Chains A and B, each alone.
Chain A
Amino acid sequence: MTFDMSQFLVTFYEESFEGLDIMETELLALDVGEADLETINTIFRAAHSIKGGSGTFGLNDVANFTHVMETLLDEMRDGKRDVTQKAVNILLESVDVLREMLSSLQAEEDLDDVRISNVKQKLDNLLAGGSEETVTEEAPAEETATAGTDNSVTNSAKATPSGWVIDFKPNVDMLQTGNDPVRMLRELDALGDMVVTPDISQVPDFLMMEPENSCLSWVITLEGDIEKSAIEEVFDWVEDECELTITASTNSATAVNNEKIAEAEIISESIEPEPVKVATIEKVATAEPEPVAEATSASTSEKPAAAAKAKRKATTETSSIRVSIDKVDELINMVGELVITQSMLSQLGEDEDFGEEQIEKLKNGLMQLERNTREMQENVMRIRMLPISFVFQRFPRLVHDLSGKLDKKIELVLSGESTELDKTVMEKIGDPLVHLVRNSLDHGIEIPEDRLAAGKPETGEIHLNAFHEGGNIVIEITDDGAGLNLKKILSKARSSGIVSDNEKLTDEEIADLIFRPGFSTADVVSDVSGRGVGMDVVRRNIRALGGTVDVKTEAGKGSVFTIRLPLTLAILDGQSIVVGEEVYIVPLVAIIESIQVDSSLVNGVTGQAEVYRLRDEYIPIVKLCDVFNVKPLHDDIEDGLLVVVEAEGKKVALLVDDLLGQQQVVIKSLETNFKTVEGISGATILGDGTVALILDVSGLISISKKNASSNKKAATTSKAA
């Protein structure tokens, strides 16, 4: 039977990467010493599905690796093992290794065996170290030997003893699931010389016999140079349906010994504790210590990680998208409505006599159709939008790892995670963000001693925040560290000739120097940052997305990096307003209230600008018709309406002719084919197919200021004349 598995393989990789993400997040959420059972369960389930999947697809390296992790997690779940920081760190590292393995396999490249076996060994060590007691209890004869070789555990995957003893006891109902022990025995036979001893003690009397029950169990001795994984593979499908112990035997003496242990365990043991046992027995068998070079493993682990990450990005960038079920449900609802409208219209078409009444119905139907189509279009667009938490979720891990490496205490605060962002933008903003956060960690936050000395809490805080503003998505990275050392930056810039000696710069301009290519003030080039490549790349990448990045800093208090990204495809809640003949959209978030004009509350200031008294505030009035040079519908200010908007902490009242409905609009860029226009953040297409411009409130405020000042100038010059 040929069966194309490749289509499932794609899904498997996708699910596995998701599983790994889940594992990572949950591992970070795990409280050391006080394990939350549900959290461990979640991690376990994720590991288990990766193991199952990889086994099915014949990715045995992955399956074996995950199996060891699973064993560890299972012990944690059963409370046999404490959740230590060390264990969590090793598990996190294993997650990384698994991710690399999967991406290498996906890209059909060779696996990094050294790294894999290094981490696997760490896992094995942990396993062997933790449950030693249980083993020694069961095998007192080996106690001394075990204690003596405690620190030199060998890798089980590498050691190939001369043979294996397999204790295989199928559950009674195994045959009913379609698994036949005979097949497995045959497969085992193919691996090497096999001696099988059946145990018929459980077989009932002939009269009581159920032909569909499996009552036999076997002790199998396999001789030969066989990988343990090969044996495990045979039992891959049935491991949940039998009691299975696989033990190594180096010579007949230990084989007998093992057999005894195996026998003792038959009834109580299930599959899980098996690697523990193997590990200890191997200690006796191959007592030759195989020292692990910790240093090499540490230094080599970095590079492949980075390389693998880059590769993975290339392969997954075109992949699928996760859509919340709500959005899909909404779409299905809409399609339903569309079908109803369609059938209504076709019924109308079948009518023999087509009178006034039918025309009326037809009109209504068409209107409904138009509305449905429009709604559907909007919703389809929304599918591309994902909450920014997809980007943010990688940061807890980053901060966890780096703060450990840099000996700093850092708390990461995330907010605005539900801010929606277009998927393409999201994929590209990840790396610049990582860079900025790393930078804040390395250069921004001081070491605990310095913080205490400066009278700040020992734990530094990095705050990631995302929100919509003025037609942009703004992402802020705030740290409460030392802030940029402006003097140092300036002197460095002078010495490297970026800035000439007599050039005077404002603080903002100096801070902005860090975005110049090749600029770094770090005294020591660390492996986290400081090589001088970075901030300029960050700025370039963000610019490529049509966004901006800038920094505000205060010595001793910290710095804020602000990224502004345009909403290329983003959706905006808007209020349609009318000025003259034109319809504009005002972002709903900017609107505070809309009021009818009471002319007694309109006051002139210096005869030029007008302000409106709203309760206790005086708010400047911006006449949109003047700003946009449109002839207003009403000449009298009292016939218009005021829309009070706020941007960047300033309030203005926009004078408009009328308000239309509120709607979600799809933002289209004006820049693609045209250019940026001050006061306009983009355009959208209204239900009737015409274009409406979306107002950029902060831009409008600055235009109105400019106009006011130029008016004033004109006024003063005319007076002077």
Chain B
Amino acid sequence: MATTEQKLTTADDTNKNLQMEQSIIGGSELDENTQQFLTFILAGEEYGVDILRVQEIKGWDAVTQVPNTPEYVRGVINLRGTIVPIIDLRIRFDMEQLAYGPTTVVIVLKVMSGNDDSRIMGIVVDGVSDVYNVKNEEIHAAPDFGDGVDSSFVKGLTTVDEKMVIILDIDFMLNSNELAKVNKITDEE
């Protein structure tokens, strides 16, 4: 118990440090048109999520499996008293699975699911990369990848330091498919 708490606080500190650092570096540049994104690495690709949705970053720890759920739902963890589901993004995106290593982290996100409801969910990614300031006009709509690729989770693409960053629509991603369907049924009951 004590050790997990310890880890959580350090993860929190990392968050704070990240944000502080960014506000020092890019504080003056921030305006209504600019958003900050936390990026992470998944199979060599860099993905970004709105930093205001990031609750904390913590190391991978054992989860409790939940039966009869899709494979990408790794299970649930105890985050200071709340039960938080953990989603493996590699499995979610049908990528090749990778053994969890020391850089494997869980990014805990706040997901909005309509009606001002918010849920807390964690995603497992290969590693955290950086925090970028991106101007709205620098975000380009995702091109049509054709039938084979599901691009609905992609909010847009942007370029930072000549690298492509995929901006994710986490609300859509974490409310779609099995995660949402079951939810709707419970609403109707």
Contacts and interface: CB of A to CB of B under 8 A. Distances in A.
Given A685-B78, A691-B77, A677 B67 contact: yes
Contacts of B76: 670, 674, 683, 691, 693
A620 interface: no
A628 B67 contact: yes
Contact of B67 (A673, A679, A692): A679
A689 B77 CA distance: 9
Which of B81, B83, B179, B186 has the largest number of chain A CB atoms within 10 A?
B83
Nearest to A625: B67
Interface string B65-106: 111110000011110011111000000000000000000000
Contact of B83 (A627, A678, A679, A691): A691
Contact of A370 (B1, B66, B69, B81): B1
A670 B4 contact: no
Contact of A685 (B81, B179, B183): B81
A672 B75 CA distance: 15
Nearest to B110: A673
A675 interface: yes
A627 B68 CA distance: 8
Nearest to B62: A690
Contacts, number: 81
Nearest to B77: A691
Contacts of A628: 67-68
B67 A688 contact: no
A689 B1 CA distance: 5
Contacts of B83: 668-670, 672-674, 683, 685, 691
Secondary structure at the B interface, as helix, strand, loop or mixed, is mixed
B189 interface: yes
B166 interface: no
Interface in B1-23: 1, 4
Interface string A184-220: 0000000000000000000000000000000000000
A675 B65 contact: no
Interface in B152-188: 179, 182-183, 185-186
A459 B178 CA distance: 53
Given A676-B182, A683-B76, A627 B67 contact: yes
A677 B69 contact: yes
A692 B63 CA distance: 10
B64 interface: yes
Contact of A688 (B1, B65, B75, B81): B1
Contact of A677 (B62, B68, B78, B84): B68
Interface in A639-695: 668-680, 683, 685, 687-693
B67 A675 contact: no
A160 B44 CA distance: 93
Nearest to A685: B78
Nearest to B3: A689
Contacts of A685: 78, 81, 83
A688 B2 CA distance: 9
B119 interface: yes
A685 B64 CA distance: 10
A582 interface: yes
Chain A, interface size: which category?
20 to 34
B51 interface: no
A703 B67 CA distance: 12
Contact of A672 (B66, B67, B119): B119
A548 interface: yes
B186 A676 contact: yes
A669 B4 CA distance: 21
A691 B85 contact: no
B66 A673 contact: no
Nearest to A691: B64
A672 B185 CA distance: 15
Contacts of A582: 64-65
Contacts of B112: none
Contacts of A672: 82-83, 119
A272 B81 CA distance: 59
B57 interface: no
Contacts of B85: 673-674
B67 A680 contact: yes
A543 to B, nearest CB: 8
B176 to A, nearest CB: 13
Contacts of B84: 673-674
B120 interface: yes
A172 interface: no
Contacts of A264: none
Contacts of B120: 673
Given A548-B189, A673-B85, 7 more contacts: A582-B65, A672-B119, A674-B76, A689-B1, A691-B77, A692-B64, A693-B64
28 contacts: A627-B67, A628-B67, A629-B67, A670-B66, A671-B186, A672-B83, A672-B119, A673-B82, A673-B85, A673-B119, A673-B120, A673-B121, A674-B119, A674-B179, A675-B179, A675-B182, A675-B183, A675-B186, A677-B182, A678-B68, A679-B68, A683-B64, A683-B76, A685-B78, A687-B1, A689-B1, A691-B83, A693-B66
Interface of A: 370, 548, 582, 627-630, 668-680, 683, 685, 687-693, 703
Report, nearest first, the 8 A-B pairs whose CB atoms are least far apart: A628-B67, A691-B64, A674-B85, A675-B182, A689-B1, A673-B119, A685-B78, A683-B83
